[in-house]
Amino acid sequence: MNFDVLIIGAGLAGLATALRFPENIKIALIAKQTLDISASHWAQGGVAGVIDNNDRFELHEQDTISAGAGLCNEQVVRHVIKNSKDSIQWLIDQGVEFTKSNDNQSLHLTKEGGHSLHRIAHVKDFTGKAIQEALIKEIKIKKNITIFENHSAVDLILLRKIDPKSKENACLGAYILDKNNDSIKTLSAKYTVLATGGTSKAYLYTTNPPVSTGDGVAMAWRAGCKISNMEFIQFHPTCLFHPMERSFLISETIRGEGGILKLPNGEPFMHKYHPSGDLAPRDIVARAIDNEMKQRGLENVFLDISMLDENFIQKRFPSIYQHCKNLKIDITKEPIPVVPAAHYSCGGVKTDLNAETSLHNLYAIGETACTGLHGANRLASNSLLECLVFSKSAVEHIYSKIPEQSDHSPLPDWDESRVTNPDEAVMILQTWNELRRFMWNYVGIVRTNQRLNRAYERIEILKKEVQHFYKNFHITSDLIELRNLLQVSELIVLSALARKESRGLHFSKDYPEKNDEAIDTMLQLDNEIN
């Protein structure tokens, strides 16, 4: 169980990182479930990039910075966007067949909220699925990559825990729960990459799969890493509202192709909130829907695309069309009921241009990381691009150092000698349900200090209960996820309390104005906030 590189997470960030390494590098790839279950797999929209001759790097940069509400790191923005065309070409080289234009020569580029031009490469309306399937096919033939499906990371292994006298701390690998036989494996690695995705399962309603439980952020926090901007949780404006379906995303590209948000009486409303109307940035659209629902006592609003040609709708949005049809909703003839839902975490583990964290030998890529690209609000379809660019940066940086890295002494095995089997598993389910409900009600789209403090007090009580459970009983995957969700929920609340303004995705009724100076929120292990 000794590897050159340990990659925790098998979405686009994890797969792209694993594939980019030369075959002389021994890699362990950890998938919480199977390789085809990740938030990346569910992504519908596409990959943003400067491809068209009418587009320019500066325009994409301006759109990204404008959406980010003053908090984007402009150096990072330039780095990502200048590598966008090469990143999309890399996907094509891996076998991804993007949708072509009518001439069948160039890529068909679509437009989403916040973008000034059509610049998003896509595979119909199931881009993430197409990308993941192509990369998984490549991963499975690589002899240097050992795949661990149905495995969950428990915690990182730290040099200072093994050798308290060590002057510097470093990540030496991780303890991994094998869910196939409920055993703990000790994986040693010269370098570890966190690619575990986001934190959206902390909320009652989300567009993400069940694996999005903030594991990487929680483990990095416990290891002493810097965590930045966790208050910026992006709520996707349009999640399907249906009693049989709570997590199906209705892609922003529907609005990009002309879809209109409407009230139950058919009245459009987005023109009241932003000059771009239905193509306003996501934070504005989500708050507008939330406001209309609360003012009018609505359970949902509607997204109407029925004015477009029926054949175009079926060809452009085949998976959305079929999914809604299975639920007796014909989107070619009637509007789609939608509500906002937790979708993306703009904050995360603080990293640099090499995707390196503040802990030696530990990297973070994708939604787990806070690179500075998204600022206070992610521009649509920049997330898949970010995974691709930083996977390349991380691989180049790690590979340049691997020959210099000496092997560590054997790591201690996981100690379960003083724990017993749990007697009240129902506690985990009850705590999970309570957490997700009060996070939705108190730490949602619109916040107040009173709600945030109430959430914090409850989180602290639940954390103590779960920590007692963790120390005294055999761990399970449910317990690992609950422990991590409570930790990231605390970080979200602490960050939100620290921001005395409204900016981007964080809107506070107590501080409705935006400050003149844009400052990142930075959390450290002792809960000091800088």
pLDDT band at 469; cut points 50, 70, 90? confident
Q: How far is CA 227 from CA 246, 266, 348, 349, in A?
A: 30, 43, 6, 5
Residue range 491-515: mean pLDDT, rounded:
97
Taking residues 313-321, report their average pLDDT: 94
Q: What is the pLDDT of residue 277?
A: 95
- The predicted-structure confidence for 285-307, as pLDDT tens digits, reads as follows 999 999 999 899 999 999 999 99
Mean predicted confidence (pLDDT) in 463-487 = 92
Angstrom distance (rounded) from CA 518 to CA 530: 13
Question: Which pLDDT belongs to residue 428?
Answer: 86
Q: What is the pLDDT of residue 210?
A: 86
Would you say residue 269 has pLDDT above 60?
A: yes
What pLDDT was estimated at residue 473? Answer: 85
DSSP 8-state code for residue 517: S
H runs (alpha helix) in 51-119: 57-67, 74-82, 84-93
Encoded amino acid at 257, one letter:
E
2-231+346-404 maps to which CATH number?
A: 3.50.50.60
> Is 426-512 CATH 1.10.10.10?
no
Q: Which of 20, 119, 255, 282 is catalytic?
A: 282
Mean pLDDT score, 92-101: 95
Q: What is the pLDDT of residue 399?
A: 96
Rounded CA-CA distance 462/397 in Å is 40
Question: Which of the two residues, 18 and 256, has the higher pLDDT score?
Answer: 18
- Each domain of the chain, given as residue ranges in start order, spans 2-231+346-404, 237-340, 426-512
Answer yes or no: 282 catalytic: yes
| pLDDT, tens digit (0-9, with 9 covering 90-100), for 23-75 | 999 999 999 999 998 888 888 889 999 999 999 999 999 999 999 999 999 99
Reply yes or no on whether the pLDDT at 102 is more than 90. Answer: no
Mark 121-147 as b/e (b = at least 16 C-beta within 10 Å): bbbbbbbbbbbbbbbbeebeeeeebeb
pTM (2 d.p.): 0.91
In contact, 436 and 213? CB cutoff 8 Å? no
Helices 382-401 and 84-93: angle between axes, nearest 10 degrees: 80
Mean pLDDT within 357-375: 97
Nearest-10 Cα torsion for 453, 291, 42, 494:
-20
Tell me which CATH code domain 237-340 carries. 3.90.700.10
Residues whose CB is less than 8 angstroms from the CB of residue 213 and which lie 6 or more positions away in sequence, other chains included: 199, 201, 202, 481, 484, 485, 488
Can you give the pLDDT at residue 103? 76
Provide the pLDDT confidence category of residue 245 given band limits of 50, 70 and 90.
confident
pLDDT bucket at 252, cuts 50 / 70 / 90:
confident
pLDDT, residue 528, reads 45
Say yes or no to pLDDT of 405 above 70.
no
CA-closest candidate to residue 398, choices 428, 375, 365, 422: 365
**What is the pLDDT at residue 530?**
42
